[in-house]
Amino acid sequence: MATTTYKVLAQSAPSATTNTDVYTVPAATQAVISTIVVCNRNNATATYRIAIRPAGAAIANQHYIAYDVVLAASDSTTLTLGITLGATDVVTVYCSTATTSVSVFGSQIA
C-alpha cells in the first residue's frame, strides 16, 4: 500500500537570473504540489518564472506555469495549484533578483 507524506517539498533562495531546480521527485515516488509561495525579500520589484519539467526534460516554452510574473517589493505570492508529478519530474524557478525565496509544499506518495 502506498504511503503519503505531507511535507515541505523544497525551499530555495535562488541566484538571480539563473534557472534553479528547486524540487525533483525522487525515483519510485509521485508527488502532488499543493502550494508554491514566492517571496520578494527586497524593497524593489522582482519577477519570477516557474516551470514543471517532465522527467527532467530540457526546459522549453511548454513547461512554464508562470512567466515573468511581477512581484511587488516586500511581497509574497501564494499559488494554490494541485499539480501532480511523476518520478524524476522537476520544478525549476528563475528569479530576477537574488532576494527572492521559493517554497514548495505538498505530498509525496511512495
pLDDT tens, 47-90?
A: 999 999 999 999 999 999 999 999 999 999 999 999 999 999 99
Instruction: Tell me the C-alpha distance between 63 and 61, whole Å.
Output: 6
CB atoms within 10 A of CB 25: 21
What's the pLDDT at 5? Answer: 96
CB 109 within 8 A of CB 84: no
pTM for the structure as a whole: 0.95
What's the pLDDT at 1? Answer: 78
What's the pLDDT at 98? Answer: 97
Residue 81 makes CB contacts below 8 A (sequence gap 6+) with 33, 34, 35, 36, 65
What's the pLDDT at 33? Answer: 98
Length of the chain: 110
**Angle in degrees, CA 106, 55, 30, rounded to 5:** 35
